[in-house]
Amino acid sequence: MCGIVGYLGKKSAVEVLVEGLERLEYRGYDSAGIAALEGSAIEIVKSKGKIADLKAKLNGNLSGSTIGIGHTRWATHGRPSDANAHPHRDCTGKIAVVHNGIIENYQELKEFLLEEGHIFLSETDTEVISHLIEHYYKDNDLFTAVQYATSRLEGSYALVVLCTDCPDRLIAARKDSPLIVGLGDEEYFFASDIPAILKHTRRINILDDGEIALITSSKVEVYNSTGKKVAKKEMYVEWDAEAAEKGGYDHFMIKEIHEQPQALQKTLSGRIHSEKGIVDLKEVSLDAEKLRNINNVAIVACGTAYHAGLIGKYAIEKLVRIPVEADIASEFRYRNPLIDDRSLVIVISQSGETADTLAALREAKKRGAHVIAVTNVVGSTVSREADDVLYTWAGPEIAVASTKAYTTQLVAMYLLALDLGTKLGTLSQEKAAEIVKALAEIPNNAAKVLEQAEKVKSWAKEASVWKDAFFIGRGLDWAVAMEGQLKLKEISYMHAEAYAAGELKHGTLALIEERIPVIALATQEELYDKMVSNIEEVNARGANVTGVTFEGNKELEKAVNQVIYIPETLPLLAPILSVIPLQLLSYYAAVERGCDVDKPRNLAKSVTVE
Ligand code: F6R
């Protein structure tokens, strides 16, 4: 994810900024840049690649400046390049801006600014901010210009502005993207993350949504969205540098599990209109006419992404009424798949670089299929080679075990099913509106599931001595069971299997004996009674069953040893919520067993070899 640092004080700004950006490197980025005020001009140096590349370009220059802003960019709008790297400037060269977040209405703003004669140098959404500030900038009043400009922005932002006319101040604003003020001794900082400034100060103010802050070398002032000055509480950071990188969590995996509400919100942002009950996927170029030409859909991916594909299969078949195969990429590519120019192939890949998924994509393209990529990494190889790209906007995932990437992939699959079903008319407007409304509530519901982390933690203590575990479910619950067992295997090194509950009696039931742990997912209304019968089958053999179901379903308590509840939503969307306790279970069990949670043995984050 992008990182921000701003500095104003007596030290060399460039040194402070570069060092701060280095502290944010662990978050992942593809380019970096700084802007510093040197004399009466803003000098901007930026580079695609690593901070070492930026340093090489700086070559020791600008070391006399004491005010500046810096940024590490993780591409969203516009591929990784020197031009798209931040900071971005206005036409006059007086104003420079760094920004984290996504400006959803940037196209509309850009058109307005182009008509006003502004010239853009990048493909980013951020560049509209510097031009918008320029548009409102009058009488050396940068603060009012930032107020007006931010009032026109839709989406999320944390931004810091540097202006040649105000060499004694930096101005920052935030909405739905973190930003802090570092309070030093005759020096002040802005940063998106604590590690960036930890070397210089542990005293901070946390900015809230809608606030605009101004720092000079002697003070900080913060104003709320109505322009009223607010008194901020000073906080003291106790964390060491390593804990700060993980936002105070012990591991990246648990940090990423807890980031899911925000990540899900970002995936949905700008793509659904819950009042109108419609989905708006500009990214998909297939119109109704082209879609009518499609005979079949193949969803191809590996590992966790494949499990997201299984949910996608259910959703698309249900809402679009078209045959869908979900396939493991390493199988798909070698089995002469029945794919041609009347096929739609959807590849799912967090990294966008997985060798098997990429080969499957190329195979599909060779056969003339239309390919949609669902990926988290802008500019990744699958995003460049696919016909259409649906980004998941989960932010960088650092832990090897995928969590927030998976749940955001699920959202992407639901959005796609809604888009295709609406275009083809297989989905009524009322049904689409009902799903859209439920999707809009998913981020809040995910936050509610996370409130049960402590309960799952004590369950995980018990789980840490398991030799085997069985995850069972029917329909969509079976697909979630597959993901649950993979998580447990990969980070806690425990043997686990997932079964379609109705299939147990055809063999696996022989393995169920006294006290064997079974995790039974029971969220699918239409299959509920059948699922309870399957739970009774394992109960009869003495299994220790934990059920996962919707709040209010007290009935299940009669059939199982304990129940984990998730907030009510449509059964179709339940996987996004029911997987969260399973992620927490594997995490806490792995910690209890002393496993290397973020880097499990034998595994790599991105598998770029066959
Ligand atoms: C498991 C996990 C892997 C990946 C798989 C595909 O937690 O992360 O199973 O899902 O290696 O990776 P991507 O999505 O990058 O193609």
pLDDT of residue 606: 73
Q: How far apart are CA 38 and CA 43, in angstroms?
A: 7
pLDDT digits (tens, 9 = 90+) for 372-391: 999 998 878 899 899 999 99
Q: Which residue has the higher pLDDT, 392 or 237?
A: 392
Asked if pLDDT for residue 29 goes beyond 90, the answer is no
pLDDT at 76: 82
Three-class DSSP category at 364: helix
- Nearest residue (by CA) to ligand 1, atom 3, is 303
Q: CB atoms < 10 A from the CB of 602, how many?
A: 6
Domains of the chain listed by start with CATH number:
2-244 (3.60.20.10), 252-449 (3.40.50.10490), 453-592 (3.40.50.10490)
CB atoms within 10 A of CB 116: 12
Catalytic residue among 431, 455, 599, 605: 605
CB of 574 sitting under 6 A from ligand 1: no
Task: Report the C-alpha gap between 101 and 575 in whole angstroms.
Answer: 27
What's the pLDDT at 28?
A: 77
| Cα(32) to centroid(ligand 1), Å | 27
At 518 the three-state DSSP class reads: strand
Helix, strand, coil abundance in the chain, percent, nearest 5: 40, 20, 40
- Ligand 1 touching residue 408 (CB < 6 A): no
Ligand 1 proximity of 383 Cβ (cutoff 6 Å): no
In 231-302, alpha helices (H): 241-245, 252-258, 260-268, 288-292
Q: Answer for the pair 569, 451: CB distance below 8 angstroms, yes or no.
A: no
The residue count for the chain: 610
pLDDT single digits (tens) 125-154: 999 999 999 999 999 999 999 999 999 999
Q: What is the dihedral of CA 232, 237, 241, 242, to 10 degrees?
A: -110
* Integer Cα distance of 157 and 76 in angstroms: 13
Q: Probe ligand 1: pick from 332, 346, 351, 392, max atoms within 8 Å of CB?
A: 351
**Residue 245's pLDDT band (cuts 50, 70, 90):** confident
Predicted local distance difference test score (pLDDT) of residue 379:
75
Return the sign of the alpha-carbon dihedral for residues 95, 101, 105, 111.
Answer: positive
Q: Is the CB of 347 under 6 A from ligand 1?
A: no
Residue 37, phi then psi, degrees to nearest 5: -90, 115
Please give the average per-residue pLDDT across 287-296, as a whole number: 96
Distance, CA of 106 to CA of 285 (rounded, Å): 20
SS3 string, 92-153, reads CCCEEEEEECCECCHHHHHHHHHHCCCCCCCCCCCHHHHHHHHHHCCCCCHHHHHHHHHHCC
Three-point CA angle 572, 471, 567, nearest 5°: 40
- Contact indicator for 14, 44 with CB cutoff of 8 Å: no
Contact in structure between 28 and 19 (CB atoms under 8 Å): no
**How many helices (H) and strands (E) in the chain?**
19, 27
pLDDT higher than threshold 70 for residue 229: yes
Amino acid letter for position 225: S
Exposed, middle or buried, 143 (CB in 10 Å: 0-12/13-18/19+)?
Answer: middle
